[in-house]
């Protein structure tokens, strides 16, 4: 029986990828690519203070990566199309006596017109090979940011990702649950109707759950909460919160919902929910916003005993995601 540990359980390392030139980041030598590489490297260097980090990088980009990354960060050369390793990389799970990797089918977030995935569709098996763990292939098309587990049998999903006709045409909720439960060792799925509004834009994922809701421990979930009635995410966050408050997890507990207030500035889908939990640390998205410190206090209470480190994520969100989207944990 395979089982996906919760993100807050001990890690062996974090995997990331170094942004290559592409349609999202722009051309080699351009200012956008430089911004992305600096932002990704800052996250990697921060995590490396707490646990090992390995960054996937193309052979051509390895010298640039080495110059930006801490000497403590390892490099693993491989072909890449993009740099969202949460999505293209493997999901690590445990059996009673070994670590395994799940290779989901990856098709560029629903075969989006700008996406290329010839290389990224193979990243999961490449990373698993470097980690020295066997791979289990899944029949479902999805990404690592499209679900979130509590480590005790409960998984969060969204209708617009797992039931996306450009990902899984003809699949029902029952089909999805059967496959995901088999791969992650979960037994209870809580379905959310959609993600944040901006996630349906040009470079969005069409509803990844890890930007709207996340478990912080079994029985407790943080929810992106937009307090401005004029913002399109106000209704979204109200609906998501209501569904989660009415939900029970795999152990039969009614969920405790903690509101994580959205940044006051509304440039995009900025969300504090999209944080990353590593050994001894919570790496939290910062936006030079008045609510940065408030979010830090909420997550400090949610993860007692861990240091909460704010890292400017504006140059990550500008390309379509956050800190959680660019990181993938390998459990110890």
Report the catalytic residues.
325
Give the phi and the psi of residue 37 in degrees, each rounded to 5: -65, -40
CA distance 18 to 114: 19
SS (H, E, C) the chain: CCECCCCCCCEEEEEEECCCCECCCECCCCHHHHHHHHHHHHHHHHHCCCCCEEEEECCCCHHHHHHHCCCCCEEEECCCCCCCHHHHCCEEEEECCEEEEEEEECCHHHHCCCCCCCCHHHHHHHHHHHHCCCEEEEEEECCHHHCEECCCCEEEEEHHHHCCCCCCCCCCHHHHHHHHHHHHCCCEEEEECCCCHHHHCCCCCCCCHHHCEEEEECCEEEEEECCCCCCHHHHHHHHHHHHHHCCECCCCCECEEEEEECCCCCCCCCCCCCCEEECCEEEEEECCCCCHHHHHHHHHHHCCCCEEEEEECHHHHCCCCCCHHHCEEEEC
């Amino acid at each position: 029986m395979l089982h996906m540990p919760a993100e807050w359980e001990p890690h062996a390392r974090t995997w990331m990828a170094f942004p290559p030139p592409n349609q999202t980041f722009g051309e080699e030598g351009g200012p956008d690519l430089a911004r992305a590489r600096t932002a990704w490297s800052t996250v990697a260097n921060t995590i490396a203070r707490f646990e090992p980090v390995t960054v996937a990088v193309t052979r051509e980009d390895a010298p640039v990566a080495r110059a930006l990354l801490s000497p403590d960060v390892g490099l693993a050369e491989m072909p890449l199309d993009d740099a969202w390793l949460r999505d293209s990389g493997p999901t690590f799970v445990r059996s009673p006596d070994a670590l395994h990797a799940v290779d989901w089918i990856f098709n560029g977030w629903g075969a989006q017109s700008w996406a290329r995935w010839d290389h990224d569709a193979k990243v999961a098996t490449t990373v698993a090979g470097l980690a020295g763990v066997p791979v289990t292939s899944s029949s479902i098309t999805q990404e690592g940011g499209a679900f979130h587990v509590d480590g005790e049998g409960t998984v969060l999903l969204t209708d617009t990702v797992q039931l996306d006709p450009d990902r899984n045409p003809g699949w029902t909720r029952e089909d999805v649950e059967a496959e995901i439960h088999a791969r992650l060792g979960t037994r209870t799925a809580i379905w959310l109707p959609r993600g944040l509004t901006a996630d349906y834009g040009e470079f969005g994922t069409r509803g990844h759950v890890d930007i709207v809701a996340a478990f912080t421990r079994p029985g407790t979930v943080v929810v992106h909460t937009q307090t401005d009635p004029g913002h399109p995410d106000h209704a979204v966050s109200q609906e998501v919160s209501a569904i989660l408050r009415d939900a029970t997890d795999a152990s039969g507990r009614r969920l405790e919902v903690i509101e994580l207030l959205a940044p006051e500035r509304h440039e995009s889908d900025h969300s504090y929910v999209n944080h990353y939990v590593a050994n001894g640390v919570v790496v939290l998205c910062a936006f030079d916003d008045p609510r940065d410190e408030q979010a830090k206090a909420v997550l400090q209470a949610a993860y007692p005993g861990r240091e909460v480190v704010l890292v400017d994520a504006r140059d990550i969100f500008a390309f379509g995601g956050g800190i959680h989207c660019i990181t993938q944990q390998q459990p110890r």
